[in-house]
């Protein structure tokens, strides 16, 4: 699916944009729908029908909820039916094998449809918001299906709620300014993914395939730091590409990342990381459970439920569930007393506290079993072959500069330097002329790398 997606972006995207721009307004959503179906079917020729089925069911549920606005019973049945079908399909493909294994049954796992968690949550937001009377019904099936199948973000987010693009589905601006802005954001995301994530990720792939007790402590730390930067640049890079493509098409998708590694608490980290997922769980799980309105104990209960589900959303394994509860535990501690302590400490200490906890969390996230996770953490804590070895120095020689670039790039420093440059340069037109040239060079560099590279995973496609 990764290779298929890149083929689509590089060879079909210019054609899609050309047709889209010259087509009459009345046909643009049809073009979006067709391009989204083709994009998804290119890598998932069978499961595209599954996506279209859930789209039809949620569209129908929305029409029923609107038609019987006066009858709460029918509205509730339509909502429950929609949620049951969506979660039933998600459970069957993503969780059935895992839950059966808990009871000792050996069941072959079904191939996981790419992006099923993303488009399922996205489509469910429509029927839930319809039931809550937060949005108006979409009577045009083409418009609704175009929303669900929007190809820029269908397989890896950001999760776009219907209310966020409701107006733009029927009326949106498409002009040269938005096109230029979208191209810039897209290229920034492409550089993150292709130049940074792919290259730093090769180190983690190599280390992950080794025997963990045979690693030195420093090699283990460098390996998981490589993954820490890989997953950030991979996922935020894809999100940027999706947001940029959205602007080219006239849509304003929500922000999904906001420099999460500079956070000063775990709570703040999750306000900056995968923002659309956190917002979805807050709106549709945490608040319906009661949020923080029913006392401290129920608030803590609600937080742990949300974080257990957040882990489970990412995958059907104990590693993911423990990963979610791990963050939930620290968020609960920060809610009870730790947050007040952190506010009194220097910023560099709280940032280090948050970053280190996140790094340990990524070990749980990307190892195959809990045994592997604890083995790797043991090596990180000094249980390996020593502090450093020849492999450690090999890593530092080959990856030191890339680590520095990734570390600096994950902060707000590059944006501050860019803004300062624009503010101080007297003849700003030179800078504005240089920007497209730099972007074109970056695009050529990424294209050349993709043609030649054999390592090009999209980490969040598996969710």
Nearest by Cα to 129 from 159, 164, 168, 85: 164
Query: How many CB atoms neighbour CB 332 within 10 A?
Result: 19
Residue 314 appears among annotated catalytic residues: yes
3-state secondary structure the chain: CHHHHHHHHHHHHHHHHHHHHHCCHHHHHHHHHHHHHHHHHHHCCCCHHHHHHHHHHHHHHHHHHHHCCCCHHHHHHHHHHHHHHHHHHHHHHHHHHHHHHHCCCCCCCCCCCCCHHHHHHHHHHHHHHHHCCCCCCCCCHHHHHHHHCCCCCCCCCCCCCHHHHHHHHHCCCCCHHHHHHHHHHHHHHHHHHHHHHHHHHHHHHHHHCCCHHHCCHHHHHHHHHHHHHHHHHHHHHHHHHHHHHHHHHCCCCCCCCCCHHHCCCHHHHHHHCCHHHHHHHHHHHHCCCCCCCCCHHHHHHHHHHHHHHHHHHHCCCHHHHHHHHHHHHHHHHHHHHHHHHHHHCCHHHHHHHHHHHHHHHHHHHHCCCHHHHHHHHHHHHHHCCCCCCHHHHHHHHHHHHHHHHHHHHCCCHHHHHHHHHHHHCCCHHHHHHHHHHHHHHHHHHHHHHHHHCCCCCCHHHHC
* 172-194: average pLDDT: 88
At 88-123, the pLDDT tens digits run 999 988 888 888 888 877 777 777 788 888 888 888
Least-confidence region, from 8-17, 267-276, 287-296: 8-17
Give the pLDDT confidence score for residue 462 in this predicted structure. Answer: 59
Give the pLDDT confidence score for residue 395 in this predicted structure. Answer: 94
Confidence of residue 461 (pLDDT cuts 50, 70, 90): low
Check pLDDT > 80 for residue 425: no
Give the pLDDT confidence score for residue 8 in this predicted structure. Answer: 58
At 357-399, the pLDDT tens digits run 999 999 999 999 999 999 999 999 998 888 999 999 999 999 9
Measured distance CA(193)–CA(230) in Å, rounded: 8
Least-confidence region, from 191-195, 225-229, 313-317, 443-447: 443-447
Give the pLDDT confidence score for residue 9 in this predicted structure. Answer: 60
Least-confidence region, from 197-201, 214-218, 432-436: 432-436
Domain segments of the chain as ranges: 2-172, 178-452
% pLDDT > 90, the chain:
53
Check pLDDT > 80 for residue 429: no
How buried is residue 374: exposed, middle or buried, by Cβ count under 10 Å (0-12/13-18/19+)? Answer: middle
Instruction: Give me the half-sphere count of Cα atoms (radius 13 Å) on the Cβ side of residue 359.
Output: 21
Check pLDDT > 70 for residue 128: yes
How buried is residue 251: exposed, middle or buried, by Cβ count under 10 Å (0-12/13-18/19+)? Answer: buried
Confidence of residue 456 (pLDDT cuts 50, 70, 90): low
Confidence of residue 6 (pLDDT cuts 50, 70, 90): low
Nearest by Cα to 443 from 1, 13, 4, 2: 13
Least-confidence region, from 110-119, 202-211, 250-259: 110-119
Check pLDDT > 60 for residue 420: yes
Confidence of residue 170 (pLDDT cuts 50, 70, 90): confident
Check pLDDT > 90 for residue 50: no
Confidence of residue 3 (pLDDT cuts 50, 70, 90): very low
What average pLDDT does the chain have? 87
Pairs from 205-214 (Cβ < 8 Å, separation ≥ 24): 205/455, 208/366, 208/367, 212/372, 212/375, 212/376, 212/378, 212/379, 212/384, 213/375, 213/378, 213/379, 213/383, 213/384, 213/385, 214/384, 214/385
% pLDDT > 70, the chain:
91
* 30-50: average pLDDT: 83
* 147-161: average pLDDT: 81
Confidence of residue 1 (pLDDT cuts 50, 70, 90): very low
Measured distance CA(309)–CA(331) in Å, rounded: 15
- What's the CA angle centered on 126, arms 114 and 458, to 5 degrees? 20
Least-confidence region, from 50-54, 291-295, 346-350: 291-295
Check pLDDT > 80 for residue 197: yes
Check pLDDT > 60 for residue 2: no
Give the pLDDT confidence score for residue 431 in this predicted structure. Answer: 64
DSSP for residue 262 = G
Check pLDDT > 90 for residue 75: yes
Say which of 216, 265, 314, 361 is annotated catalytic: 314
* 281-291: average pLDDT: 91
One-character DSSP codes across 201-250: HHHHHHHHTS-GGGS-HHHHHHHHHHHHHHHHHHHHHHHHHHHHHHHHHT
């Amino acid at each position: 699916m990764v290779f298929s997606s890149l083929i689509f972006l590089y060879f079909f995207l210019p054609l899609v944009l050309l047709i889209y721009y010259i087509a009459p307004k009345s046909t643009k959503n049809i073009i979006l729908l067709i391009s989204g179906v083709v994009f998804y079917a290119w890598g998932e020729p069978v499961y595209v029908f599954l996506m279209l089925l859930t789209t039809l069911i949620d569209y129908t549920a929305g029409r029923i909820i609107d038609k019987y606005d006066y009858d709460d019973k029918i509205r509730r049945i339509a909502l429950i039916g929609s949620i049951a079908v969506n979660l039933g399909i998600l459970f069957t493909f993503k969780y059935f094998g895992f839950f059966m294994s808990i009871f000792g049954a050996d069941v072959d796992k079904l191939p996981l449809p790419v992006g099923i968690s993303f488009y399922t949550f996205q489509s469910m937001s429509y029927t839930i918001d319809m039931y809550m009377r937060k949005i108006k019904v979409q009577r045009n099936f083409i418009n609704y299906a175009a929303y669900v199948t929007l190809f820029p973000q269908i397989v890896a987010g950001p999760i776009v709620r219907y209310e966020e693009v409701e107006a733009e589905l029927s009326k949106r601006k498409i002009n040269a300014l938005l096109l230029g802005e979208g191209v810039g954001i897209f290229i920034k995301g492409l550089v993150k993914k292709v130049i940074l994530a792919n290259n730093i990720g090769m180190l983690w792939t190599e280390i992950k395939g080794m025997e963990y007790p045979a690693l030195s402590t420093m090699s283990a730390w460098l390996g998981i730091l490589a993954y820490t930067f890989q997953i950030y640049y991979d996922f935020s890079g894809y999100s940027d590409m999706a947001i940029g493509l959205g602007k080219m098409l006239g849509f304003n998708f929500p922000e999904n990342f906001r420099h999460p590694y500079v956070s000063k608490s775990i709570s703040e980290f999750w306000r900056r990381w995968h923002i659309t997922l956190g917002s979805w769980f807050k709106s549709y799980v945490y608040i319906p459970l009661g949020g923080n309105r029913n006392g401290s104990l129920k608030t803590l209960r609600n937080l742990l439920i949300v974080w257990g589900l957040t882990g489970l959303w990412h995958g059907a394994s104990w590693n993911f569930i423990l990963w979610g509860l791990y963050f939930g535990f620290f968020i609960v501690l920060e809610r009870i007393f730790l947050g007040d302590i952190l506010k009194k400490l220097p910023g560099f200490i709280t940032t280090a506290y948050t970053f280190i906890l996140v790094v340990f969390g990524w070990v749980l996230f990307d190892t195959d079993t809990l045994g592997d996770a604890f083995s790797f953490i043991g090596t990180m804590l000094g249980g390996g072959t020593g502090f450093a070895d020849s492999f450690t120095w090999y890593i530092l020689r080959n990856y030191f500069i890339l680590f520095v670039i990734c570390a600096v790039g994950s902060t707000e420093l590059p944006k501050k330097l860019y803004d300062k440059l624009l503010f101080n340069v007297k003849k700003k037109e030179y800078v504005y002329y240089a920007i497209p040239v730099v972007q074109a060079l970056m695009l050529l560099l990424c294209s050349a790398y993709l043609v030649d590279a054999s390592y090009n995973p999209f980490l969040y496609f598996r969710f």
